[in-house]
A and B are shown apart, each in its own frame.
Chain A
Amino acid sequence: MPDHAEDEAKYYDDPEWADIEPIQQADQGPNPLAAIAYTDEYAEAMAYLRTVMARDEKSERVLRLTKDVIEMNPAHYTVWLYRAQVLFATHADLHKELEWLNETASQYQKNYQIWHHRQLIVSRLCPDPASSAATRGPPFPGAGIDVDSLVAKETSFVASMFDKDAKNYHVWSYRQWLVRHFGLWDKGELEFTEASIEKDVRNNSAWNHRWYVVNGKEGSEGVKEEKVREREIAFTKRQIRLAPQNQSPWNYLRGILRKANLRFSTVQDFCIEFADLSKPEGDDVFSSHALDLLADIYAVDEGRNEQAKRCLLLLKDKYDPIRANYWQYRLEMLDKEMGSGIDSHLPEHETRNLTSAVSV
């Protein structure tokens, strides 16, 4: 970051801005809290921004001003929101904006604003991809765009962001929006999640994205459809075998069973691969998550309550003592046969919640 303090006044001496009376920061009393010693340049730019916003000026010079402020403080949500309005009002070249965002996003990854801004720009460029976007759209440079090329650029840019941080929350949210907006459900997105999971089987964000790609499309059955379900269960089992003590695929497996309304006992043999209780001392346990699921499987079957209890006790005392309180709670629920804490029967409200969670 350049040292702005050494620069000359940028706007005050510029004839282009001579018509603007900058609004200085209002008085905050004799002893304001957390007062920041702004550089002269930042204070000056903000003063001009206050004035143009008060006048609701949307012009080419305001684009330069907003860019200037963003480069000094990219977390300034107001200037991002105002810039979007100015871009649209001045029919600015939105492709250029995306190019600039590419550079900026790489520098400021943990930023809410930049991804929301990007979404505004891309949806403005292509408001309705389904209806021949090549000809429709508002009359500004960028209308008549090539949707496929835009999508390719966006998905590859996003993928490059994951090379820097494979779990960036905002970037994954944006990726979901791309899938939804451009209908990328069957266009290589599943393979993308597979590649992400292959890179790091513990990347929970990639698992969540896979769930979305499989189940998120409006009107789609997702894992309720047998063919899809079989594929997903097989995929998940393969990943669990790579790293049995990995919570992400176990959560995914539970999610499938519940959404598809399957009895948990359909994966009993699979769980036993990682927690064979027929061995003495319960020594053959390679995954606490397998024990947890087995406890639920046995709990539905009245004759096997003792086995469920054994799973929970093993978790509490040996394999997962940090959660001793939680396992104890589950044990008590088992004793009371209240069924709470034991997802066996898929009460209707659970199914409803899980279904609604993915039908956006």
Chain B
Amino acid sequence: MTSSQENGDDTLDELLKDKARIEELSDDEDEDDSMTGPPFPGNHLKPRRKRKSKLHPQPQRKLLEIPPWIFDTNELFHNDVKTPSRNALDKTAAECLRFLTLLDIQGLPLNSHGLPHLRRKPHADFLRFFLGPLQTGFTAMDASRPWLFYWCLAGLSFLDVDVSDYKERLIETVRPLQNPGGGFGGGHGQYSHCACTYATVLALTAVGGLDVVDRKTMWQWLGTVKQDDGGFRMAVGAEEDIRGAYCAMTIITLLNLPLELPPDAPARKGGLTSFTDKLGEWVGRCQTYEGGIGGGPSNEVHGAYAFCALACLSILDAPHISIPKYLDIDALARWLASTQTTPEGGFAGRPNKLVDACYSHWVGACFALIEAALPGMKDGLWNKAALQTGPQGGMRDKPSARPDGYHTCYSLSGLSAAQNHYWYDSKSNTTDAGSGRLLAAFNWQAKRGTADELAVLKVDEEDVVALIHPVFVLRLEAVEAARRKFEAGGL
């Protein structure tokens, strides 16, 4: 990656125009995304400038041992009929190969195994840049500024940067985003929205600033988006999808809001009394014939929605109880494993789509959750080493894309999932007897990979990303602080 400081003026300008990410979910990837008008996801996929590598003469280097999936298997099946998908897949593989084989290291400093170091400072500088004053091109992010707070502050904390200094600034910034009726919108005067509220609450959790949240009105507002069928709308009158289910349960659990629906919640008319009523069943309806999870019932499988489903169920109860209760776990395990791509080693969001670094988190983080629910699990379901050798020279979708806050945050989380261990402590309580809070999501334990394991991954100690909570995607300490802060419950 290239930090803003290292870029020349022209690339900095491009960065500014490239309004990072507007959606939570990366969904733009195919080659033909020619857009006019304001910057929009997909715009950045066309390589527009020469690589900077000529500024950094590449030393003659010996190649590392090439893992078998990079060349061997890619050759085995390629006598298939060519279609637009096949062409796009081949183009991406070709684009990534020079980095996978370390033919091109982009002038990056290398660790003791010959892989590029995780460059903490440039990554941190890059994230700080998006927290600073932003140029006019970012107007397209005006309804999703809370995501910038979350991606950047969480991402910085994953790099072990102390973000508590941002507490006062963040509190002042988000105060006008909170609506009198509860919840946070994308900006002053915007409707409260599950994604904006989730991102704001997480960012506040990261800096220890949750006092600014009005918990009572938050509870009342969430009551207005809970649906009769068990799911959640993203905002009043907006679409119902599985992001709403995960975001709402995250907010409720971190803030220890009552599970009981507010008296005037419309879903009460449908016979529901609790936020959790029919929720597991609704999540179950999002699993399709392919084994993966769609954004809503019958929609296509998608890696990011798989994470929302598993994380939501892992809030409702212990994963080995709630996941098999509502999902066909074997079919889901097969589907999740199938999303790791050859030869790149990263993950694609859907079958026959292209590898994208953000799915290192969306799919990578699923494995800790589902492995905790599979009997007899020993060595994990996925190839952690392959993710490490992926195009790590930037926190961006793929080499021809430009970096952004979204991909930086979620690539770091994906690396953490590969480098560290996460397991569920099934002996702990899943409900708090006093406040009624769901505790399952707080029972996760984590430890750093051992020296031997890191060596297998070809990672140096200094390249290890912080321990990240597998359900809430924040540092573990930040989650623990929120658990303690609202232990008493009530409103």
With A73-B140, A81-B238, A176-B299 as known contacts, state yes or no: A37 contacts B135, CB within 8 Å.
yes
Q: Is the CB of B300 within 8 A of A208?
A: yes
Assess whether B288 is interfacial by the CB under 8 Å rule.
Answer: yes
Q: How far does the alpha carbon of A201 sit from the alpha carbon of B87 in the complex, in Å? A: 12
Q: How many A-B residue pairs have CB under 8 A?
A: 322
Assess whether A39 is interfacial by the CB under 8 Å rule.
Answer: yes
Q: How far does the alpha carbon of A358 sit from the alpha carbon of B300 in the complex, in Å? A: 11
Q: Which of B93-141 contact A (CB under 8 A)?
A: 130-136, 138-141
Q: Is the CB of B290 within 8 A of A202?
A: no
Q: How far does the alpha carbon of A85 sit from the alpha carbon of B36 in the complex, in Å? A: 29
Q: How far does the alpha carbon of A285 sit from the alpha carbon of B79 in the complex, in Å? A: 12
Q: How far does the alpha carbon of A217 sit from the alpha carbon of B136 in the complex, in Å? A: 47
Q: Is the CB of A325 within 8 A of B380?
A: yes
Q: Is the CB of B289 within 8 A of A319?
A: no
Q: When the two chains form the complex, which single residue of B298, B334, B351, B352 contacts A216, counting CB atoms closer than 8 Å?
A: B298
Q: Is the CB of A29 within 8 A of B173?
A: yes
With A50-B188, A108-B40, A246-B80 as known contacts, state yes or no: A324 contacts B27, CB within 8 Å.
no
Stretch of B215-223, B249-257, B369-377, B441-449 contacting A (4+ beta carbons < 8 Å): B369-377
Interface string of B144-187 (1 = CB under 8 A from A): 11001100100000000000001011101101100000000111
Q: How far does the alpha carbon of A196 sit from the alpha carbon of B380 in the complex, in Å? A: 37
The size class of the interface chain B forms with chain A is 35 or more
Assess whether A166 is interfacial by the CB under 8 Å rule.
Answer: yes
Q: Is the CB of A329 within 8 A of B381?
A: yes
Q: When the two chains form the complex, which single residue of B84, B142, B169, B378 contacts A38, counting CB atoms closer than 8 Å?
A: B142
Q: When the two chains form the complex, which single residue of A77, A173, A202, A353 contacts B238, counting CB atoms closer than 8 Å?
A: A77
* Chain A residue with Cβ nearest B333: A341
Q: Is the CB of A169 within 8 A of B176?
A: no
Assess whether A243 is interfacial by the CB under 8 Å rule.
Answer: yes
Q: When the two chains form the complex, which single residue of A35, A72, A252, A323 contacts B338, counting CB atoms closer than 8 Å?
A: A323
With A29-B173, A33-B173, A246-B80 as known contacts, state yes or no: A50 contacts B189, CB within 8 Å.
yes
Q: Is the CB of A172 within 8 A of B139?
A: no
Chain B: minimal CB distance from A244 (Å): 7
With A172-B300, A358-B288 as known contacts, state yes or no: A325 contacts B379, CB within 8 Å.
yes
Assess whether B2 is interfacial by the CB under 8 Å rule.
Answer: no
Q: How far does the alpha carbon of A75 sit from the alpha carbon of B76 in the complex, in Å? A: 43
* Chain B residue with Cβ nearest A326: B337
Assess whether B278 is interfacial by the CB under 8 Å rule.
Answer: no
Assess whether B361 is interfacial by the CB under 8 Å rule.
Answer: no
Assess whether A96 is interfacial by the CB under 8 Å rule.
Answer: no
Q: How far does the alpha carbon of A353 sit from the alpha carbon of B325 in the complex, in Å? A: 10
With A84-B237, A211-B289, A333-B376 as known contacts, state yes or no: A202 contacts B173, CB within 8 Å.
no
Interface string of A48-72 (1 = CB under 8 A from B): 0110011000000000000000001
Q: Is the CB of B143 within 8 A of A204?
A: no
Q: How far does the alpha carbon of A65 sit from the alpha carbon of B327 in the complex, in Å? A: 46
Chain B: minimal CB distance from A181 (Å): 13
Assess whether B328 is interfacial by the CB under 8 Å rule.
Answer: yes
* Chain A residue with Cβ nearest B289: A255
Interface string of B329-346 (1 = CB under 8 A from A): 011011101101111010
Q: Is the CB of B172 within 8 A of A208?
A: no
Assess whether A148 is interfacial by the CB under 8 Å rule.
Answer: no
Q: Which DSSP category, helix, strand, loop or mixed, fits chain B's interface?
A: loop
In the bound complex, residues from chain A placing their C-beta under 8 Å from that of B148 are: 33-34
With A49-B189, A208-B300, A360-B297 as known contacts, state yes or no: A323 contacts B133, CB within 8 Å.
no
Assess whether B258 is interfacial by the CB under 8 Å rule.
Answer: no
Q: How far does the alpha carbon of A177 sit from the alpha carbon of B34 in the complex, in Å? A: 27
Assess whether A357 is interfacial by the CB under 8 Å rule.
Answer: yes
Assess whether B295 is interfacial by the CB under 8 Å rule.
Answer: yes
Chain A: minimal CB distance from B454 (Å): 17
Q: How far does the alpha carbon of A320 sit from the alpha carbon of B386 in the complex, in Å? A: 13
Q: How far does the alpha carbon of A148 sit from the alpha carbon of B351 in the complex, in Å? A: 34
Q: Which of B310-366 contact A (CB under 8 A)?
A: 324, 326-328, 330-331, 333-335, 337-338, 340-343, 345, 350-353
* Chain A residue with Cβ nearest B193: A77
Q: When the two chains form the complex, which single residue of A256, A259, A321 contacts B68, counting CB atoms closer than 8 Å?
A: A321
Interface string of B63-80 (1 = CB under 8 A from A): 000011100110011011
Q: Is the CB of A205 within 8 A of B80?
A: no
Chain A: minimal CB distance from B197 (Å): 13
Assess whether A230 is interfacial by the CB under 8 Å rule.
Answer: no
In the bound complex, residues from chain A placing their C-beta under 8 Å from that of B333 are: 326, 329, 341
Assess whether A350 is interfacial by the CB under 8 Å rule.
Answer: yes
Stretch of B54-62, B279-287, B457-465, B469-477 contacting A (4+ beta carbons < 8 Å): B279-287
* Chain A residue with Cβ nearest B329: A340
Chain A: minimal CB distance from B313 (Å): 13
Q: Is the CB of A33 within 8 A of B149?
A: yes
Q: Is the CB of A360 within 8 A of B298?
A: yes
Assess whether B38 is interfacial by the CB under 8 Å rule.
Answer: yes
Assess whether B433 is interfacial by the CB under 8 Å rule.
Answer: no
Assess whether B86 is interfacial by the CB under 8 Å rule.
Answer: yes
In the bound complex, residues from chain B placing their C-beta under 8 Å from that of A354 are: 287, 289, 328, 331
In the bound complex, residues from chain B placing their C-beta under 8 Å from that of A336 are: 376
Chain B: minimal CB distance from A57 (Å): 14
Q: Give 8 pairs: A residue, B residue, CB < 8 Å, sorted on A.
A: A23-B189, A26-B175, A75-B143, A107-B36, A202-B86, A204-B350, A333-B376, A357-B286
A interface residues (Cβ-Cβ under 8 A, vs B): 1, 5, 23, 25-39, 42, 46, 49-50, 53-54, 72-78, 81-82, 84-85, 107-110, 112, 116, 164-169, 172-173, 176, 199-205, 208, 211-212, 215-216, 242-248, 251-252, 254-256, 258-259, 285-288, 318-326, 328-329, 332-333, 336, 338, 340-343, 349-350, 353-354, 356-358, 360
